[in-house]
Amino acid sequence: MSGPDRDPADDDRPVLAERTYDEGTPPSIAAVYAISAALDTDPIDCTTELGFTLYDHVDPEALDRLVTRTERAGDVTVELSLGEYLLRITNSGHVRVFGPSESSESVR
């Protein structure tokens, strides 16, 4: 399967959290909620847990514009490596946080 909603098994990473976004909740906010759910922490405390903010990796307003532009044909997927986690945001309204790959956990 290809495209923004490809099977997470393709990544060999477990999905730790998933959120959706819409007109009321922008992708950048859904991303913060997904990351905090994956870490089982309050969104306000997420910065303390990770030691950085989403803004340290991407401009939230640019991210929101990139994945919500409706005049674009085709799929858009933005992936950010956040330490051992992978954040994937698609233009289909999904935000997913993946944990470390299964193969990297067995190496540790």
| Whether the predicted pLDDT of 87 surpasses 80 | yes
CB atoms under 10 Å from CB of 97, counted, come to 25
Section 80-95 average pLDDT: 91
Residue 83: per-residue pLDDT: 81
* Arithmetic mean of pLDDT over the chain: 81
Q: Give 60 or 102, the one with higher predicted confidence.
A: 60
- Domain residue spans of the chain: 13-107
The Cα-based distances of 98 to 16, 41, 69, 72, 85 in angstroms read: 5, 16, 25, 27, 6
Q: Give 71 or 103, the one with higher predicted confidence.
A: 71
- E-strand stretches of the chain: 15-20, 77-82, 85-90, 94-98
Query: What pTM, to 2 d.p., does this model score?
Result: 0.78
